[in-house]
Amino acid sequence: MPGPETIAAALAAARARLVAADVPDATTDARLLMQHVLACDHAGLILAGERSLTVAERAAFEALLSRRLAHEPVSKILGEREFYGRLFHVTADVLDPRADTETLIDVALEQPARRVLDLGSGSGALIVTLLAEWPEATGVAVDLSETALAVTAENARRLGVAERLTLLQGEWFAPVSGQFDLILSNPPYIPTAEIAGLEPDVREHDPLLALDGGADGLSCYRAIAGAAAPHLAPQGRIIVEIGAGQGPDVARIFAAAGFRQGAERRDLGGHVRALLFTFPA
Ligand SMILES: C[S@@+](CC[C@H](N)C(=O)[O-])C[C@H]1O[C@@H](n2cnc3c(N)ncnc32)[C@H](O)[C@@H]1O
């Protein structure tokens, strides 16, 4: 039976195992899992470093660590992820919301909107954030996945915007009626053949429905651009997230459907991440 282990020693050992398993961000991830077990913040963890773990704490940490060693993302293990300064509940049924997607929120907030539509809402990161930022706005969230839509609903409730959000299950615009000042979408955009080569954290823990953009990665943009015009209010805007290098192709798809391209915005990695369109061209 091994003797008591200090928190600092357990963290160092966990870090080494994560590095050996090729888990990125081993130091941060070990720390976040330990903070969860001890229910403390970063400062509390530093203060507690030389105390010994209890048997129960050690078992709880090992259980979480073994999931991370199997490449489950920390957000999915802990069931939460911060997005635009708010904590979102995340499950295996939704895409883990990415920091890059906050670029769409920055573009959206440059012009107020009262009626907002989010196509493919997943966790609700986009629509729930915008309804929280705009207390007068109402929103509609669409997702093909019923289980994803349940997570949108849960986050809308937790963040106090549920009364202003309508949830619709179905394919893009199929269940939608009416017009919107702002239509947003972060659709699946990975070409099907590239999915097998993605990092295991993504490939095995984000839903395929949230990743697969068809043979060339662009099929969802074609579906959305082809049906958007009747749902855009005068002076309305469409903002879509794109994958690295997809800008020219997506711009062509929207231009062919009669839209004019406005601002484009780069993410922190320097890739064009958000494209804005208005109608008519
Ligand atoms: C890349 S995820 C984006 C989730 C969330 N909006 C975000 O930015 O984190 C794409 C979402 O689109 C949904 N989806 C995929 N195909 C769809 C379709 N044909 N119609 C509606 N939603 C769809 C998926 O279920 C998934 O929740």
How remote is the CA of residue 55 from the centroid of ligand 1, in Å?
42
Cβ(84) – ligand 1 distance below 6 Å: no
How remote is the CA of residue 146 from the centroid of ligand 1, in Å?
11
pTM for the whole thing?
0.94
- Residue 71's CB is within 10 A of a number of other CB atoms, namely 17
End-to-end Cα separation, the chain, in angstroms: 73
How remote is the CA of residue 261 from the centroid of ligand 1, in Å?
23
In this prediction, residue 66 has a pLDDT band, given cuts at 50, 70 and 90, of very high
Report d(CA 27, CA 24) in Å as an integer. 9
pLDDT tens for each residue of 84-117:
999 999 999 999 999 999 999 999 999 999 999 9
How remote is the CA of residue 207 from the centroid of ligand 1, in Å?
9
Cβ(172) – ligand 1 distance below 6 Å: yes
Task: Give whole-number Cα distances, 259 to 177, 237, 279, 281, in Å.
Answer: 20, 10, 5, 5
Residue 209, H or E segment: helix 208-211
Q: Tell me the best of 94, 101, 118 to mutate to test the pocket of ligand 1, counting ligand atoms within 8 Å of each CB and taking the most.
A: 94
Cβ(213) – ligand 1 distance below 6 Å: no
Q: Tell me the best of 140, 209, 241 to mutate to test the pocket of ligand 1, counting ligand atoms within 8 Å of each CB and taking the most.
A: 209
Q: Ligand 1: which atom is nearest the Cα of residue 184?
A: 6
| Single-letter amino acid code for the residue at 221 | Y
Cβ(155) – ligand 1 distance below 6 Å: no
At 2 the pLDDT is: 58
Cβ(120) – ligand 1 distance below 6 Å: yes
Domain range summary for the chain, segments of one domain joined by + = 7-70, 79-278
Q: Are 153 and 208 in contact (CB under 8 A)?
A: no
The CATH number given to 79-278 is 3.40.50.150
| Single-letter amino acid code for the residue at 143 | D
Q: What is the mean pLDDT of the chain?
A: 96
- Average of per-residue pLDDT across 197-219: 96
Q: Ligand 1: which atom is nearest the Cα of residue 121?
A: 6
Q: Ligand 1: which atom is nearest the Cα of residue 188?
A: 1
Q: Ligand 1: which atom is nearest the Cα of residue 189?
A: 1
* Lookup: tokens for 163: 């009364």
Q: For ligand 1, atom 27, name the residue with the nearest CA.
A: 122
pLDDT tens for each residue of 226-252:
999 999 999 999 999 999 999 999 999
> For residues 175, 190, 116 and 111, what is the CA-based torsion angle, rounded to 10 degrees?
-160
How remote is the CA of residue 220 from the centroid of ligand 1, in Å?
10
Output helix, strand, coil percentages for the chain, rounded to the nearest 5: 45, 20, 35
SS3 53: coil
Report d(CA 116, CA 68) in Å as an integer. 36
Q: Which residue's entry shows tokens 């749902």?
A: 231
Share of the chain above pLDDT 70, in %: 99
What is the 3-state secondary structure of 25-38? CHHHHHHHHHHHHH
